[in-house]
Structure 1
Amino acid sequence: MIRFVPENIGVASITCEAYINNHVTEFANTLYNPDPANPILIAYIDGTYSYIEKSSNFRVFRQSYSQHKGRHLIKPALIVAPDGYILDIHGPYFSDARNNDAATLRNEFRRDVGALRYFLGEGGIVIVDRGYRDVLPLLDEFGIDYRMPALLQRGERQFETEVANDSRLVTKTRWIIEARNGHIKSIFKFFRNLISVVHAVNLREFYLITGAIINKYRDVILMEGATLELAQAILERARTLNALKQRVIEQGLARRNGMWQRLNEDKVRDFPILELNYLKELTVGIYQLSLAPAYIQDKVARDGIKVFELDEHREEGLIRVRLFSRFRNAVRYQLWITYKNNKTLEEADEPITGYYCTCVSGSRTLGSCAHVASVLWFLGFARHQSNIKYPSNALLENIRDAANRHDQGDIDMRDENIEIVEPV
């Protein structure tokens, strides 16, 4: 703590110039900096947590209980560079409602506002998640720029295409700080376990030592394929309007009567065969695709389930599908996909020419929502494979359910309580 830690972590351990030159990647600088020719400081801020034993001190007992996690814990917060370099670790803080992410960051600025403001400098950008929304006015007051995924405003049902694309730009690289949080617990097993109160009092020092060791001896995090060219291509897609959304609205496609049939492997035989790498490029990542097997299993693969349905009244090169939300069974979405017929598809053709879903993020053109990704994955890839693995049903088959919900997904489409989400 006397030499090693101060030399390897903290705003005093590195200059702004060295931080920008050594730890702000070209990819992140291109995505977030309005003037990429002049690199600026970019940092991610997010909290993590360590579970602690219950304290016999009633005040500590109350303030360390997290309603969100349902356990006693305390929360440090990391400030991380685009390549995973840990600039600093704040806290730890208690975990009750008065110690949310926004409150802890506000407190750090008030305690040490000079050093943080000086380091971030004029034009520096911090990237945060929605948990920091209440601290944004303070960042504005200090002249600190920020990027955060959008929040739906009162009365809104769906993000506009531009807003949804901007949110995807933020989440494209935010996984880096989550990865660093994970590294702390995977490298140092102490942080995985329940921490006694005796050790919890020194947790700040333990985290700083950990961060210094990672900075000194561990490799930086480099996202595969994160080049200048990819960043420029992503920005270009982020500025693309959703033409299919406009078509759906102008032609009233959502209100047309449909002949709905269960989506299965025998439907839409003219749909193009898609490579997995193409799907990753189209969806701008793997998260939505990782949800696809579970979506398809829940909505298509099980017999008797009719909540993932195809409109048999369809135009050439256009499909319409309706499905239920994975969060709320009473909410039904519709999605449309335009494609090139696989019989006439040329090598230079783009097989998927458009997509739109009525869910919250379904209008974006930079990537897609999980609903669209699931249909693309199933029709274009999975049904042509012989070894697709779906999530295990072992618990459903071996654990009893007092409600006997064997067919809980078999929902009556005529139910008047079902909320149909329309295009906006």
Structure 2
Amino acid sequence: MSGNANLVGDITLNISRARISSTKCCFRSCSTECPDELHRIPRAIRYEIMKNKRFFIPEKSVACNFHSDYSVLSEINIPVENCAFTAAQIEEMVDLLRSDPKQLKDEGQVLNKNSDAGVKADTGLTREQFQNLFHCLNSLRDCLKNDKIASDYLYTYLMKLRTGRTDEDIGRVFKITRWAVGKRLKCVREAMESDFVYQNVNCLLSREELAKYTTFLSQMLFCHGDINRPVLILDGTYVYIQKSTNYEVQKQSYSNQKKRNFVRIMNCVTTDGTILFVLGPYPASSNDAKVLQSIIQSTNALDNLNADDVLLLDRGFRDCVNLLKEKGFDVQMPALLQRSSNKKQLTTSEANRSRFVTANRYGVETRNGHIKTIFKLFQHEWNPIAMPHLMTDYRICAALINAYCKSIESNKGMATEIGRRMLDRYETPNELSNIVSKNEFQYNLSKFNQFYDFEQLPALTQTDLILIALGKYQIKQAASYCQEHFKSNNFQFAVFECPNNILRKFFANFTTGDKQLKLLMARIKSRFRSNKTHDAYILIDILGQGESVVLAYCCSCYNGLRTVGCCSHVMTIIWFALHIKKPSKMHRPAAFLDNYFGEASSSDCDSSDAEE
């Protein structure tokens, strides 16, 4: 029929027809001409109106928010009039009436067309979470006056955050232009900020409310029995941006350290991962300390805290510690080696205190990762055109995480036992380190024999390893350290033992009771520098059981003298000698990448990165 359409004149039918216009509402009685309030009417609604009202709405017609709602269209009286139709319009009308009602039921609402897994992949939320969020956005539903259209608007925005796809790509999913996508994003962004963000983030909570978001481990280590004392973590993150033609912005956003353009964002997170506030953007030329100083001087973000409330910081905030202490805060930060000293290691006391801090900063590091893994928009470089709403989108992501992600607690179920052991070991000296250094064991493999008979050693469980390391991080690193040594030593991990005559001479303090000692040592390659190694030692009792098998340990690395847990190099020996025992039982991480760089993989590459 379409091939002969130009041979047929207009035909008058006793069927009403809507106005065909892309700039005005298709209902002639409506005067709406605002482009932001005009939408294509879904095919399902056009089918129902045609069937029940004998009113034909062409596909290219648009309608205002009011006339896009089927509940409105089904109630209003539409008089049937004689109207002229072209052959093409008649063909379109026949095709519309031939549509399958079952297939049209959910057309125009992507949420209902997708599976539960598809909704999760597109939006980062389950179907139930999406519906919950949708019913929170009253301003969006009031503005559009059509729940199906409002649902598609929200789906579009969440897809943008979740996937980071371009507006053109998202437009192809919804069969709309990129300009229409931009309109949707703006509409939802405004609704989210007014109805959702400030109910879930940037809340100035009381100290008692803040304390509810403090993990039990943090309370044990820092609060000294005061259950209403909050423990907060401050940390800076960044979002990469493209170069700008605005030279002032270009200079302020360029980092000499990273050699890239980005903006800084400051997060404040409780120890269970609840995001309290997100502030920014700040220039890349400012470090974390300068940003925090600016926050204290120009905002009220920390005004609801009292003196002696605890702030956990990393070493990047060292230049503002004095300012925070002047305000009465209890500032906890990992120890630093002074440049003027010749020391290469923290003392046992410094390393133990640093472990208290790092064991409780898990919440902020995890949330910073969630922002970029759940919402991939922040993995990409931002176009300068989009920068005005970068912080709004970031705050919305933070609010979504607070509302729909579980709270964080590392070592869940073992926090009480780990906290008790950390407090017990805090003032324990590292006696093994003193013996090793005084008797020149360090850097001297001639006093050791290579050890092979791991089967004679006691076997430790995963729980035993956690109670030795007082955490899981070092255990996860151990497999990767072993992996490198297997590759470079013909798939052998070299562990050495100290002869018994030397043990009896130097380790009399450890031989009380029925104990049979062994001193094991391994030279562990640094994970950062190819030309650097660390000597790790463990003293074990092969007649012991459980975690009591390991009597003492030390290492030559930066944190190697601590007695609150152990470093990753020490755990590597414990993990291999007392847990895995056989190379065949070991899962080698990313083994498919062995020899990826060929001969170049054996060359040294210096790095200025600090050791752990």
TM-score strictly above 0.5 = yes
User: Residue 9 in 1 paired to residue 201 in 2?
Assistant: yes
- CA deviation vs aligned residue, 1:61-85 (integer Å, no higher than 9, x gap): 2322234444322121110112211
| 1:197 to 2:398 alignment | no
Structure whose residues are more often helix by fraction: 2
Q: Deviations over 1:26-72 (max 9, x none)?
A: 32111112x22443121101112212222122232232223444432
* 1:259 to 1:133, Cα distance in 2 relative to 1, 3 A: same
Q: Does 1:242 align with 2:427?
A: no
The answer (yes or no) to whether the contact 1:9–1:88 under 8 Å persists in 2 is: yes
Q: Which residue of 1 aligns with 2:351?
A: 164
Please say if 1:132 is aligned against 2:317. Answer: yes
1:332 positional shift: 4.5
Residue 181 of structure 1 is aligned with which of 368, 378, 381? 368
Partner of 2:167: none
Corresponding letter in the other structure for 2:366 = A
What are the superposed Cα offsets for residues 94-144 of structure 1, whole Å, 9 maximum, x if unpaired?
213xx11111111111112xx244312121111111111111111122222
Question: CA–CA distance in 2 between the matches of 1:130 and 1:359?
Answer: 18
Aligned twin of 1:364:
562
Cα contact 1:275–1:381 (8 A) shared by 2: yes
Q: What amino acid is aligned across from residue 100 of structure 1 in structure 2?
A: N
Aligned partner of 1:297 among 483, 489, 510:
483
Aligned residue for 1:19? 210
- Residues 1:155 and 2:342 aligned together: yes
Amino acid at match of 2:263: I
Q: What is the alpha-carbon distance in structure 1 between the residues aligned to residue 597 and residue 522 of structure 2? A: 33
Q: Is the 8 A contact 2:418 2:467 kept in 1?
A: no
Query: What secondary structure, in the 3-state scheme, does the structure 1 residue paired with 2:565 have?
Result: coil
Aligned residue for 1:44, secondary structure, equals: strand
Deviation at 1:147, TM superposition (A): 0.8
Q: Is the 8 A contact 2:311 2:329 kept in 1?
A: yes
Work out which of the residue numbers 263, 269, 276 in structure 2 matches 1:87: 276
Is the counterpart of residue 47 in structure 1 residue 233 in structure 2? no
Correspondent of 2:587 among 389, 394, 407? 389
Could you tell me how far 1:282 is from its partner in structure 2?
0.8
Unpaired segments ≥5 residues, structure 1: 410-424
Q: Residue by residue, what CA displacement relative to the aligned partner does 1:209-248 show, whole Å, maximum 9, x if unpaired? A: 2223333343322331254443222211223222222333
Residue 208 (1) aligns with residue 384 (2)? no
1:280: which partner in 2? 466
**1:286–1:219 Cα change, 3 Å:** closer
Would the aligned equivalents of 1:242 and 1:365 in 2 still touch at CA under 8 Å? Answer: yes
State the shift of 1:182 in Å.
1.9
For 1:307 and 1:219, the matched residues in 2 are separated by: 40
Q: State whether residues 48 and 181 of structure 1, in contact with CA within 8 Å, keep that contact through their aligned partners in structure 2.
A: yes
Are 1:335 and 2:522 counterparts? no
Distance in 1, matches of 2:528 and 2:359, equals: 23
Does the Cα contact within 8 Å between 2:496 and 2:520 map onto a contact in 1?
A: yes
2:295 equivalent among 108, 119, 144: 108
In structure 1, what is the Cα distance between the partners aligned to 2:230 and 2:457? 45
**1:6-40 deviations in whole A, cap 9, x for unaligned?**
3332243x2222222x212332111112x224431
Question: In the alignment, is the contact (CA less than 8 A) between 1:129 and 1:148 conserved in 2?
Answer: yes
SS at match of 1:23: coil
Q: CA deviation at 1:198?
A: 1.8
Gaps of 5+ in 2: 1-192, 504-516, 606-612
The alpha carbon displacement at 1:323 in A equals: 4.1
- Deviation track 1:335-393 (CA, whole Å, cap 9, x = no partner) reads 3211112xx44x47811111111222111111111211111111112233634222345
State how far apart, in whole Å, the 2-side matches of 1:376 and 1:198 are: 53
2:421 to 207, 225, 233: 233
Q: How many residues align?
A: 395
The alignment partner of 1:48 has SS state of: strand
> Any conservation in 1 of the 2:536–2:556 contact (CA below 8 Å)?
yes
Give the alignment's Cα RMSD to 1 decimal. 2.8
- 3-state DSSP of counterpart to 1:381: helix
**CA distance in 2: counterparts of 1:173 and 1:340, whole angstroms:** 31
Q: Structure 1 pair 17/352, CA: closer, same or farther in 2 (3 Å)? A: same
Instruction: Report the 3-state secondary structure (helix = DSSP H, G, I; strand = E; otherwise coil) of the residue aligned with 2:304.
Output: helix
What's the TM-score, normalizing by structure 1? Answer: 0.83
Larger radius of gyration: 2
2:272 partner letter: D
Residue equivalent to 1:414: none
Q: 1:364 to 1:39 in 2, by over 3 A?
A: same
The share of aligned pairs that are identical, in percent, is: 30
Q: Distance in 2 between matches of 1:248 and 1:307?
A: 22
Preserved CA contact (<8 Å) 2:422 2:564? yes
Instruction: Choose which of 490, 511, 521 in structure 2 pairs with 1:320.
Output: 521
Q: Answer yes or no: is the 8 Å Cα contact 2:348–2:429 preserved in 1.
A: yes
Provide the TM-score with structure 2 as the length reference.
0.59
Q: Distance in 2 between matches of 1:261 and 1:355?
A: 18
Contact 2:233/2:268 (<8 A) preserved: yes
Deviations 1:149-205 (A, max 9, x none): 111123222111111111111111211111111222233332233222122122222
Q: Check conservation: 1:41, 1:125, Cα contact below 8 A.
A: yes
Task: Please give the alpha-carbon distance, in whole angstroms, between the structure 2 residues aligned to 1:16 and 1:201.
Answer: 33
Contact 1:307 1:323 in 2 (8 A): no
Rounded to whole Å, the distance in 1 between the matches of 2:584 and 2:566 is 26
Q: Distance in 2 between matches of 1:204 and 1:326?
A: 35
